[in-house]
Structure 1
Amino acid sequence: MAEVSAEARIEAPAEKVWAQLTDFSAYGRWNATHTSFPKGGPETLELSATYEENMKLMGFPAEVTWTVTELETARLLTTKGKGPMGVNLAMRYSLTPDGNATTVRIDGEFTGAAVSLMAGKLKDSATAALVESLRKLGGLITA
């Protein structure tokens, strides 16, 4: 298993951060691993919604089918995904209001036989991608 996380303070209210975080049409503008939604993002963001995403992890393309498992508007979005080679993924986006700013934390988890072979490299690559994604997300919102 490989677990990754990143956190950033964004100078905007949680509702504004949430609106950008869940704007799937603009996902590629901030998410460093995202390449496309072959069938579009989820039509309605709700529990059990599923959608497919093409990603690039450690330089390799990956197709992931996501399911929304936790959802609390402007606070929490958790998705679980099935990727190639039996890899399972989980992503948890949590927003904590702090005055006129918001602390955004992303926690990711990768499990499966293929992960154990490259856990260290995957952890480094995914952590760097999360940090970059939060930087870009903050830039879009405060700009």
Structure 2
Amino acid sequence: MAEASAEAHIGAPAEKIWARLTDFTSYAEWNATHTSFPNGGPAELAVSATYDENMKLMGFPAEVTWTVEELEPARLLTTRGKGPMGVNLAMRYALTPDGDGTRVRIEGEFTGAAVSLMAGKLKDSAGAALTESLRRLDGLVT
């Protein structure tokens, strides 16, 4: 298993960040691993909704089928995905009001036989991508 996380204080209200985080038409503007949604994002963002995403992880293209597992508007979005070579992914976006802004934490988890061969590199690469994603998200909402 490989886990990665990033956290940042963003000087915007949680609702504004949530609106950008869940606007699947503008994902490429902030998500550093995203390349496309071949069939568009979910028709409706709800628990059990599924959608496909093309990503680039460690420089390699990957298609992931995501399922929304937890959803609390303006607070929490957790998705679980199935990727190539038996890799399973989980992404958790948590927004917490913090003074004049919002603390945003992204956690990623990768499991599967292929992950054990590259766990260290995957953790570093995913951590850097999550940090870059938060930097871009901050620039879009503040």
TM-score by length of 1: 0.98
Q: Distance in 1 between matches of 2:141 and 2:87?
A: 32
Unaligned runs of 5+ in 1: none
Aligned partner of 2:31 in structure 1 is: 31
DSSP 3-state at the match of 1:118: helix
Aligned partner of 2:89 in structure 1 is: 89
Q: Distance in 2 between matches of 1:94 and 1:35?
A: 23
Percent identity over the alignment is 80
Q: Distance in 1 between matches of 2:27 and 2:43?
A: 14
Runs of 4 or more, structure 1, over 6 Å off, are: none
**CA RMSD after TM alignment:** 0.4
Aligned partner of 1:56 in structure 2 is: 56
Q: Distance in 2 between matches of 1:137 and 1:42?
A: 20
Q: Distance in 2 between matches of 1:16 and 1:115?
A: 35
1:56-135 pair list within 5 angstroms: 56-135=56-135
Residue-by-residue CA offset, 1:105-127 (whole Å, 9 max, x unaligned): 00000000000000000000000
Q: Distance in 1 between matches of 2:9 and 2:118?
A: 30
What is the deviation of 1:16?
A: 0.4
TM-score by length of 2: 0.99
